[in-house]
Structures are given as C-alpha cells and as structure tokens.
Amino acid sequence: MQGFVSYSHDDQKACGELRKHLRPLGDAFGIQFHSDHGNRIGQDFDAKIRKMIADAQLHVILFSTNLLWSDYIMETELPLIHGKKRDKGDLVLGIVLDHCAWELVAGSWVVAPLDDDLRLRPIKGWRDRNLGFSTARKQLQKSIEDHFGVQPKLIGGAA
C-alpha cells in the first residue's frame, strides 16, 4: 500500500517528526509513505507529486497555517486528494499542527490528534509534542484498521 504525506516546506521539521512515527506504522501495515521530502531543485516536482498522490490509497495532511497559505497545496495537492477520496474511497487523515482553518478544507476527513477528552488539540498545543504525534499515530492506526479491514503485523522480529 502507498501513502502520501502533504505538508508545507515551512513545516519540514514537524514533518520530520511525523515521519518518525509513521515508520513503524508503515512497517506494521506494509505502507510506503511518500512525500516531496528529498526532491532536489530541477526535478519535475509537479509530475512526481501527482504520481505519488495517484498511487496512494492513504493520505496524511499536516494542517497548519503554512499549508493553507501554499498555493500549490491548495490548488493542486488537496483537490487531487479530495478527488481520490471521492472517486476511489482513499483514506485521508488530517493531523493538525497549529490553530488554522483546517475545518474549511477537511470536510469529512478524520482529524487528529484528539486528547483524552476527545477534543482536537493541535500538535503545537501539546506540552510534549512527541506525545501529540504518538497520539495522532495511534488514531491513524485505528483508521487504517477500520478503513482497510487489516490488522498490524508485529515488527522488528517480534513473534
């Protein structure tokens, strides 16, 4: 299974933190997560991103004021992802990084992380950001299990 992570380059550090939490999830479910991370200037970004979105069945959106400010994400990535959800039934999960107008974009998408009281708490609002990302990862795991009807495999040689 393929996954695509959409984020603003201004949130590259936060995306790096998120990727650390996606690694074990990818290993447990056999998901390869892709993003434009590591693409170099001069490469055809648009064609590569369009292909990553087209190939993905799972999309993770790192919502922030920076993401909502990006013309490319708002005019290219998000419409393609909305179309994949509508036409193919792709799973989309929004992870809210900071207070922003995510609800105007997400519609019926699942958003995370939810705190113990089931209230959305942006990652930057968690005293321990690692706990915020871990909580979002757990919510993404549950969404994958429910949406695709699969269970995670133990990783790292566990039996």
Tens-place pLDDT, residues 102-141 = 999 988 788 889 888 888 999 999 999 999 999 999 999 9
* Average pLDDT of the residues of the chain: 92
Packed helices 45-55 and 78-88: angle between N→C axes, nearest 10 degrees: 20
Q: pTM of the prediction?
A: 0.92
Q: State what percent of residues in the chain have pLDDT above 70.
A: 94
Q: Looking at residue 108, what is its pLDDT? A: 75
Instruction: Indicate whether 41 pLDDT > 60.
Output: no
